[in-house]
A and B are shown apart, each in its own frame.
Chain A
Amino acid sequence: MATPPKTMFEKVWDAHVVVPETPDTPAVLFIDLHLTHEVTTPQAYTELRNRGLKLRRPDLTLATMDHSTPTRTEQVFGGAPIAVDSAAKQVRQLEINAREFGVELFDLRDARRGIVHIIGPELGITQPGKTIVCGDSHTSTHGAFGALAFGIGTTEVGHVLATQCLLQRKPKTFAINVIDDLPKGVTAKDLILAIIGRIGVSGGTGHVLEYRGRAIEKLSMDERMTICNMSIEAGARAGMIAPDATTFEYLKNTPRAPRGADWDAAVARWSRLPTDAGAFFDRSVDIDAASLVPMVTYGTHPGMVAPITGSVPASGDAVFEKALKYMGLEAGEPIGNVPVNNVFVGSCTNGRLSDLRNAANVLRGHKLAQGVKMLVVPGSQSVKRAAEAEGLDKIFTAAGAEWRESGCSMCLGMNGDLVPAGHYSISTSNRNFEGRQGVGARTLLASPQTAAASAIRGRVTDPREFS
């Protein structure tokens, strides 16, 4: 009898079941790659130490520092210490833990350092068909390669360190069918914001999303990563995109991709991953890409999003009222009227080379509007070097923006890169929660192009005006 058609998620899941689930116990799932960073690991290492346990698979574990690290060059490479004492201590603790447990660490001055979700793909250790976890919700980014990648808590980080496995119940599947093509000037960021607006911030809870359709197939890997990155903002366990020639082209010749005959074998294996015709999804939704325009959030979660050509909705529930009060916006106010004081280009959502190019292309030859502050933070040191080789840094600094070392930076402000209370911050990051970028900061999520256009005008601006 022929095997029933399977989704890509099921193929990856089935290949990693060490012990199948039963009504009484979850599945034991093997993890191919464990990415780690300074914030969500210290307590896990303490647990291992307390139990006298070793790291099971150092060869499948990689550590970097990104969240609490400084982005000012003099603090990274000069004699200036990390400004926040507890952050400095956390960074030191990661160095101690990595040494003691034998984990490969890209430390503060390592040329390979960067945001954990940027460096995995850059190195070529993010690969189709792998199970990938990290103590960070944006681990969903790696699903862009057809990996099953999801965020875990610190207790589970400890489980993976000690056993290379996790206890998991099988999630459900949710097909996001993106039909037709994205119009010119509309980006992957606009698409994922529109998807979240459509299915809601808990619309994906308990599900693994698979983004499908022609518009998805046409996206570059950077764009696919932007899409999968924000799957968690729809509450999803993970997001996946089928590997194809675009995926293989990206990975080929990355530092740690397979070589020679191993590469050919890997591509053959990866080519069997896409969802079979007729496979069953628990849910599905169709998104019409052709009707989209640039999107900007107006509220305090990523589902509160509107077309840049539109307005804040005229009315809503208590949550809506509370969000508008926090944001200092009026119901029915045109999105294009919203002022911008601060601009952040970076993060695991939009901190890759093409994102910086997209922002720079809008900004070239312009100056920031009076009073606007702009921070450009590359996703990794490698992105930074590549951007500098193209002269992108000069475009940003000529416009009046600050050009920094890599890290999570102003996405969550753990390292002291903060937006002042009450200021409007148009940001290429992933969360517009209250206080996310600083106490009282008002975040507007958008694409790099929209962020750059808004920096020039000092209010939310449609980047298509500059094309």
Chain B
Amino acid sequence: MAAVTRIRSRTVSLPATNIDTDQIIPARFLTATSKAGFGKHLFADWRYDPQGNPRPDFVLNRPEAAGCRILVAGRNIGCGSSREHAPWALQDFGFDAVVSTEFADIFRTNCLKNGLLPVLLDESTHEWLLAHPGVEVDIDVEHTTLTLPDGAAVGFPVEAFAKYCLVNGVDELGFLLSKDAAISRYEQNHGKVPG
């Protein structure tokens, strides 16, 4: 995983609340066996009409969305299915951070595992960002701040270990593998079929 330390970008706003992972990446695209290439199907049913043509009024199809690396979404993004294809699709499309006031648990975990930064903001900052799409913000991962165009820095929570992994570009599997001796001890004490 590549280190994620700073994200400076204009934002794109998708104010819908409860954006579920079926919207982010519909199930019919989940038969793939690699992680690559999901970006073209991101929000497929909102982005394209039934004939497969881009809907010009959908925010990600508008010219000003090009190059935006920060998605500001309504409350409770990522609810529903555990499909990690959702963060893969967001990243493949070009997003490095998702901003909301609430993240569904599994989606949040899946984002962090892939270096897609979930930025949990207070309601008033979030509301301002939703209302001002296209502004340039600066996210400092190490200090967990998001700096608004007026220079005001707003903090957001990222769990310590997840932050360590993001900033250093390491993944959690290495840490788990380093606990091999402890896992073996646990297995011995709990027999072949614990519980």
Contact = CB atoms under 8 A, between A and B. Distances in A.
B182 A201 contact: no
B28 A156 contact: no
B50 interface: yes
Interface stretch (A38-46, A115-123, A219-227, A367-375): A38-46
Contacts of B45: 434-435, 439
Interface string B30-51: 1111110000000001000010
A32 interface: yes
Interface stretch (A71-79, A146-154, A347-355): A146-154
Nearest to A59: B192
A18 B27 contact: no
A235 B83 CA distance: 15
A462 to B, nearest CB: 28
B84 to A, nearest CB: 4
B82 A153 contact: yes
B16 A421 contact: no
A15 to B, nearest CB: 8
Nearest to B161: A25
Contacts of A205: 76, 102, 104-105
Contacts of B192: 59
Interface in B94-124: 102, 104-106, 109-110, 113-114
Q: Is the interface of A mostly helix, strand, loop or mixed?
A: loop
A431 B18 CA distance: 13
B172 interface: yes
A211 to B, nearest CB: 19
Instruction: For chain B, give the interface size range.
Output: 35 or more
Contacts, number: 184
Interface residues of A, number: 75
Contact of B159 (A87, A169, A412): A169
A130 B190 CA distance: 12
Contact of B102 (A147, A155, A202, A233): A202
A137 B27 CA distance: 14
B127 interface: no
Interface stretch (A157-165, A182-190, A334-342): A157-165
A86 interface: yes
A412 B26 CA distance: 9
Nearest to B46: A434
B182 A28 contact: yes
A129 B76 contact: no
A301 interface: yes
Given A28-B176, A131-B195, A434-B22, 5 more contacts: A39-B31, A43-B34, A151-B82, A167-B175, A205-B105
Interface of B: 16-18, 20, 22-23, 26-28, 30-35, 45, 50, 75-76, 79-84, 102, 104-106, 109-110, 113-114, 159-161, 164, 171-173, 175-177, 179-180, 182-183, 186-187, 190, 192-195
Interface of A: 15-16, 18-19, 23-26, 28, 30, 32, 39-40, 42-43, 46-47, 51, 53, 56, 59, 67-68, 84, 86-87, 89-90, 93, 127-131, 135-137, 147, 151-156, 158-159, 162-167, 169, 201-202, 205-206, 232-233, 235, 237, 301, 319, 322, 412-414, 421, 431, 433-436, 439-440
